[in-house]
Structure formats: C-alpha cells, structure tokens
Structure 1
Amino acid sequence: MKVVNAVMPAMAQMAEFFGAPEDGPFVMVNLLKFKARAEYADGSDAHLTGAEAYGRYGEAVSRLVEGLGGKIRYSGAVTGLLLGEVEEMWDAVALAEYPSLQAFQAMALSPEMQAIEHHRKAGLAGQLNIRTKPAAGF
C-alpha cells in the first residue's frame, strides 16, 4: 500500500471528492504529521512547533465545525502502532463529524476557513483525510 501525505489536495482529487453523491452525515478521519518547526510564509512565529501552529488552526476550525452543526469527536497524539507497518508514523489523529458533504464544502471554501488556513499550512508536513460512513454490522 502506497501512502502519500499531502497538505493540499490536487484539483482532480478535490473535484472527485466534492462530486460524490450527497449521503448525509460523515466522519472525517484526519491523520496528521507536523513539521518540527512552524513555517509561516511571512517568517513570523518561527519559535512555534508545527504542532503549536496547527493547534491555532484546530482551535478555530473546531468553532467552524460546530457552527455548521458538526462536532469534533476525538483528537489525540499517536503513541504507538500495534499492527501493520508504516515508513513514518503520524503525530496525531482527529475525528470530525460533519452533517453533510455540502456543509463540509461550504466550510472548506468559506472566508473564515481562508482566514485560518495559514496556521494549518505552517504546521503540517502532511496529512491524510479519510471520509467514513457507519457501516451495517460494525
């Protein structure tokens, strides 16, 4: 299995994701890898770690998620791996529930998101975003 962390999706990937049929609430699994030091485009806050810069984003995005009727279900540090193998471990995991794909897209494209995105970019070395739905029998 090939795993590639990224900070921003390719246009084709974004079009496919947002072009999916609307099917109600979902949970986004966020696997996060932080930079050792924050890298703001203007050079500010170089004393922060990547995790601290991302924490600024996380605090603000939590309010956006809740404002659209979603919720942060879980957020925590990755502390070990029991099964499988990865070249490099992620630093943190966050689970965010959204009421709909349309609500997620509106948030992702909102001016409020654009205003905090620089913290995310400053702190992240890469991430995976995995959209999930409850399955019968689980």
Structure 2
Amino acid sequence: MAVEPTGAALAGLSTHTPDGPFVMLNLLRFAPGGRASYAEYSRRAAEFLHRYGGALLYAGDGGTPLVAEHGQAWDAVLLVRYPSREAQGRMVADPGYQEVTALRSGALTEAMLQPTVPWEGGQTH
C-alpha cells in the first residue's frame, strides 16, 4: 500500500495543480504503534512547514464513515496549506525534512495525499 509519493507524482503536482496556494488532503492509516511515531514526525516537520510558508489547517481522528465501501475508513485526516507548488517542493527536498520522513513512513501502513484548489468564486457556505 502506498505511503510516500513517487517522484512522478511529485513532478505531476506542478502539471496538475495551478500555481498559487493549495491545500493538501492527507488521509492516514496507522501501523500498530504508529501514532506516537507520527506525532513525533508532526512535531519535527512543523519547523519545515513554517519555514516554507505552510500551515496545518486541521488534524483530527477519522470517525465511522457515513458513505464508504468496507475498508475505506481512515485513522486520521489532515489539511495542510502550502503557499505554492514551488514552496512545497522546496520543503520536501530540504535535507533536514528528508531526515524526519522516516518517522512518517514507519508510522503508516497507507496514506492518500491529494492536492486541492479552491473552487472559482471562493468558498461555499
């Protein structure tokens, strides 16, 4: 199961995501004991997120799905805002950030990362 984005997926981000701010949807499934490792990753990665202008908008536990196929529940959901594709790319390429990614990889059995961009005309209510 996928945990880390491939080089091709990261390269595709610049092709399929307009330049400018975007929010990355993170759906996470933890390995046994992985929450503690992910918490340490989050604590250490926050420095890099801040350095490159990003922000954690939301982090929470996944509840029981109301609409989903069996096995599609996620343990946690995060929304992370990045100021641009370029800033996100510089962050993930930062050698210091690369050192902490092993904590994330070891904490998860599966992840889904999906960049999102606002609908034209702003937010819906």
Q: Which TM class, normalised by the smaller chain length?
A: 0.7 to 0.9
Which sections of structure 2, spanning at least 5 residues, go unmatched?
none
Task: Using the TM superposition, give the Cα deviation of residue 20 of structure 1 relative to its aligned residue in structure 2, in angstroms.
Answer: 4.2
> Which portions of structure 1, spanning 4 or more consecutive aligned residues, are displaced by more than 3 angstroms?
18-22
* Corresponding residue of 2:30: 34
Higher share of residues assigned helix: 2
The higher radius of gyration belongs to 1
Which sections of structure 1, spanning at least 5 residues, go unmatched?
37-48
* Corresponding residue of 2:105: 121
SS in 2 for 1:8: coil
Work out which of the residue numbers 105, 119, 123 in structure 2 matches 1:135: 119
1:70-115 CA-partner distances (Å, limit 9, x unpaired): 2100001002211232424110001100000000000001011111
Structure 2 length normalisation: TM-score?
0.87
- Matches of 1:20 and 1:104 in 2, distance apart? 14
Aligned ranges 1:83-102 → 2 under 5 Å: 83-102=67-86
- Asked if the contact 2:13/2:85 (under 8 Å) is kept, the reply is no
* Corresponding residue of 1:17: 13
* Corresponding residue of 1:57: 41
Identical counterparts, % of pairs? 34
Structure 1 length normalisation: TM-score?
0.80
The count of aligned residue pairs is 122
Question: Greater RCO between the two (CA within 8 Å, min separation 6)?
Answer: 2
The aligned amino acid for 2:84 is S
- Asked if the contact 2:24/2:115 (under 8 Å) is kept, the reply is yes
